[in-house]
Amino acid sequence: MEIQPCTHPHPLKPCEKKPVDSCSGCERPLFGKVYGCTPCDFFLHKSCAELPPKIHQHPFHPQHPLTLLPRVPLDAMPVRFWCDACSKTCRSFIFRCQDCAFNLDLECALLKPTLKCQLHEHPLAFFKNLALDNKCKVCEADCNASVLRCVYCSVSFHIQCVVTLPQKVLLSCHSDPLILTDSLAEDNSDEFTCDACEQKGKPGHNLYYCAEEDCKFIAHVYCAVSEVLPTLFKEHDEDQTGDVDPVLAKLDREIRILFFESAKVAGKLAEVIKNLKELEDKRTKLYSN
């Protein structure tokens, strides 16, 4: 059965074999049902072929509808064109608000902010990674992997600054439990390929690994906790709002806020001490010359 997408002038026919490696819409590897126009060398996942022409009241940009465009608009060239949710460069299908020049790539357009926490007034969405560093609102450190984010407010959080990461998780794609760690001890290297999504991991970030002998399964924090994240937030909320006296709950919130503020001050103090030591070392070298 043919499909007539709003992103291509010709009907698309089902393809029994993958004629190309990647989807013309989302640029991800082709899998499952594929539809294509062979003369135009244009092939889509079934889900990409059935995208709606508009999205109304998307939670990342509720004030205007977003229109599906099959390519980066000419008025965005030669300026670098990026997704306003994850900051990644857009080269294929996008949802765009022309009035605000607001853009979402397909991956981010499908995200929904559903995770609520006491640190922010709006629900948060969980991002695997961001192309540009953001500052975590809690600890003010760079924040670009396994990020909880409010796109509407442009606010980001490390997931570990919001909920406690489980020490063990069990994934549907692996039979044995995975253990949380902050590095790959066997070769003192932070470089790895996630076995859950087959994408490279960024140095300096936590990860999950299988501790079984002769098993080298490794996963991003994002891939490891995505399946259990709603449960983590539910447990976190129950810890915060269980059968607790309202006065004690208020005091707990105030203590938590002051704890975060003290962490910020401690971080800034450590940076000042580091800079001071560098200047003193520089002065000592100048005196010795």
Please report, in tens digits, the pLDDT of each residue of the chain (289 residues total).
788 888 888 888 888 777 778 888 888 888 888 888 888 888 888 888 888 899 999 999 999 999 998 865 555 444 457 899 998 888 788 899 989 889 999 889 988 888 887 778 888 898 988 888 788 888 878 888 888 999 988 889 888 888 878 888 888 888 888 888 876 655 445 567 888 887 777 666 778 888 888 888 988 888 888 877 777 766 555 544 444 456 665 565 565 555 445 545 655 676 788 788 888 888 888 887 7
Query: How much is the pLDDT for 260?
Result: 46
Looking at residue 241, what is its pLDDT?
45
The two three-digit tokens of residue 55, written as one number: 């999205």
What DSSP letter does each residue of 102-169 carry, written as one string? EEEEHHHHT----B--TT-SS-BEEEEEEEEEEEBTTT-SEEEEEEEEETTTTEEEEGGGTSPPPSEE
Let me know: does 90 contact 81? Beta carbons within 8 Å.
yes
Cα separation, 174 vs 171, whole angstroms = 5
- Please confirm whether the linkage preceding 73 is cis (ω < 30° from 0): no
Question: 119 with 125: CB under 8 angstroms?
Answer: no
Instruction: Provide the residue count of the chain.
Output: 289
Any bridge partners for residue 158, and if so which?
147
Name the pTM for this structure: 0.64
Domain ranges of the chain: 13-49, 54-109
Give me 271's structure tokens: 């940076």
Q: What single letter denotes the amino acid at residue 266?
A: A
Alpha-carbon distance of 21 to 34, in angstroms, equals 11
Q: How far separated are the first and last CA of the chain, in Å rounded?
A: 82
Nearest-angstrom CA–CA distance, 273 and 183: 26
The per-residue pLDDT for 242 is 47
- For 8, half-sphere exposure in the C-beta direction (CA atoms, 13 angstrom radius) is 26
The structure tokens 């005196």 sit at: 287
User: In the prediction, which pLDDT does 240 show?
Assistant: 46
CB atoms within 10 A of CB 58: 23
272/266 Cα distance (integer angstroms): 10
